[in-house]
Amino acid sequence: MNISYIYIAAVVGALLILAMLAYATVKAARPGGVTLLAGLAFVSVLAGILLGEQQLAGYALMALGVILALVDILKKSRGPVG
């Protein structure tokens, strides 16, 4: 097994653990689930990591994930006040 596959598996595992922790803390803090944009952002970043061998596709998917996450953050911040 190539060392890069071990590295990718470790990063994906760490991201999954962080996602589970974030989900648990957000769920405890306020009701509501993960939005569609946040889910798409997470999936596209993971796909970008998994496609690390093909640099153009991997970086494009990671950039798409970051952009979707930023759009989701902006949509949530412009919600109703109070």
Q: pLDDT category, 10, cuts 50, 70, 90?
A: confident
State residue 55's pLDDT score.
86
Q: pLDDT category, 9, cuts 50, 70, 90?
A: confident
Q: Which residues contact 19 (CB under 8 A, 6 or more apart)?
A: 42
Q: pLDDT category, 30, cuts 50, 70, 90?
A: low
Distance in angstroms (rounded) separating the CA atoms of residues 47 and 59? 10
Choice between 28 and 39, residue whose per-residue pLDDT is larger: 39
Give the model confidence (pLDDT) of 37-74 as tens digits: 888 999 899 888 888 788 888 899 999 999 999 998 88
DSSP annotation of 82 reads -
